[in-house]
Structure 1
Amino acid sequence: MHTGSSERLLTPGEVATLFRVDPKTVTRWASAGRIGSIRTPGGHRRFRESEVKNLLADLTSEATAPPSH
């Protein structure tokens, strides 16, 4: 499988570990369009590492940002 770059693809389990959620939650996020996914020829979901890291960084910065008044 070639994604146009040498970017690593993560499994739902790997993404779940990064976000500290259940792998089924990651699958629901993908179904809802909250995170992009790629389907393997076997029908399994894979997630681009850069997209996952960007989402994680966005969520982390939101969680640690001072409240705006």
Structure 2
Amino acid sequence: MAHTILAATTASISELKRNPMTTVAAGAGLPVVILNRSEPTFYCVPAVQPTRRRWNGSRTSS
């Protein structure tokens, strides 16, 4: 069965079990699709994207 993969980075379930933090880091802040027997099982989405600045609650006037 054909599947549409909605992420640029893929990893196997074995890779995820072996080293989960490295697998998530491979996505560089973007989702990583986890494959089980060459079929997408789930997407691993980081909680915070390191490339985006977080709003600190203060506003600056221009």
- TM-score, structure 1 length as denominator? 0.27
More helix by percentage:
1
- TM-score, structure 2 length as denominator? 0.29
Structure (1 or 2) with the larger CA radius of gyration: 2
